A = this chain, B = another copy of it.
Amino acid sequence: MSSSVPGNTTIALDAMGGDHGPAVVVPAALRFLANTPAVDLILVGDEDKIRASLGGPVPPRVRIRATSQEVGMDESPSKALRGKKDSSMRVAIDLVKDGAAHACVSAGNTGALMATARFVLKTLPRVDRPAIMTAVPSLHGHTHMLDLGANVDCTAEHLVQFAVMGSELVTAVEGKAAPRVALLNIGQEEIKGNEQVKLAHQRLAVSRLNYIGYVEGDDIFLGDVDVVVADGFVGNVALKCSEGVAKFIGSSLKAQFRRTWWSRLAGLGALPILNQFRQTIDPRRYNGASLLGLRGIVIKSHGGADEVAFENAIRIARKEIRADIPRRIGEQVGQQLDSAHYKATA
């Protein structure tokens, strides 16, 4: 996939994606370079705007790849795919395809990014559908969750593939030999789960994964599980809900500390601790979702990411390059789905 790239590790950044474009991507790139040796970055997008954000000469280890189009944040995936062949998003992915970059990062719209990445890079053999995965903070550190919205309706087979891909990513990137994998389900007996989830459960139970069974929504944050698998509709709702609750608690807590002079005073004393806490669950530290199952590494940054958050997404790209994710997932999907046990029940 990337053997043709000479010298340094290279990551292509869609400089025009997200709510802020180069105003965030360029400073994030510079932060990343200051913190990370031996990685080159290609800034893909409107050359004038990128140069304006650089505010000076192009620094070492940075190249600009000029493009003439942008994919809008609300643009339909099919329109972006058909009509925007010189968009910053498309060209960043093309650079991965052509071997000029080892990975790309975009804060552009998820639907267009997934459709374009799938069209340009193709899925790995045996992978029916790519999935979107991210980590969320949890009591025991963090939990990986997929799919987060790429696939609204999933068969049991898709869910099994997601489980294999998620497990292998955690093994490869975090060095965990046997990540604990679970299916997201609801608690009520008998009416438990829909048909796809039940069937995936049977298949995973005889797989070579460290499958621990069903978990419920609260276990994502409280339970001892590394990878939680759900269809894209459910996974997306779970992710957005958790973001909503965290923001709601943050705002309400702030309001509470501002209510009276006494609470303001107490808040002043508690501020350093509250700030420290905020840092541990800072969503910016978790920014960067992986598009898994493709023949190349594509990282999706949150559209509203700031430079700290976007830098984190570039870091994730680098980790996946070092872990050789597409090759490893390709191998695992093949091996797991070929395993005798699995076949016997599939």
Contact = CB atoms under 8 A, between A and B. Distances in A.
Interface of A: 74-78, 109-111, 137-139, 149-153, 184, 186-191, 193-195, 216-222, 230, 232-234, 236-249, 251-253, 256-257, 259, 263, 265-267, 269-270, 272-274, 276-277, 280-281
Q: How many copies does the complex hold?
A: 2
Contact of A269 (B153, B191, B220, B266): B266
Nearest to A258: B273
B270 A152 contact: no
A218 B190 contact: no
A76 B189 contact: yes
A261 to B, nearest CB: 12
Given A151-B191, A194-B233, 10 more contacts: A75-B189, A139-B248, A152-B186, A152-B191, A186-B237, A193-B233, A219-B244, A221-B248, A222-B248, A237-B237
A67 B232 CA distance: 46
Given A249-B246, A252-B280, A217 B241 contact: yes
Nearest to A255: B277
Contacts of A234: 233-234, 237
A218 B238 contact: no
A187 B149 contact: yes
Nearest to A241: B217
7 contacts: A75-B189, A111-B188, A217-B240, A218-B247, A220-B241, A245-B245, A270-B273
Contact of A190 (B78, B195, B222): B78
A194 B153 contact: yes
Contact of A74 (B189, B219, B232): B189
A277 B269 CA distance: 17
A244 B269 contact: no
Given A194-B152, A221-B244, A233 B273 contact: no
A252 B274 CA distance: 11
Nearest to A218: B244
B237 A238 contact: yes
B244 A217 contact: yes
Nearest to A239: B217
A242 B245 contact: yes
Contact of A217 (B221, B243, B251, B277): B243
Contacts of A152: 186, 191, 193-194
Max chain B C-beta neighbours (<10 A), residue from A218, A233, A241, A243: A241
A236 B276 contact: no
Nearest to A264: B273
Given A152-B191, A267-B273, A240 B256 contact: no
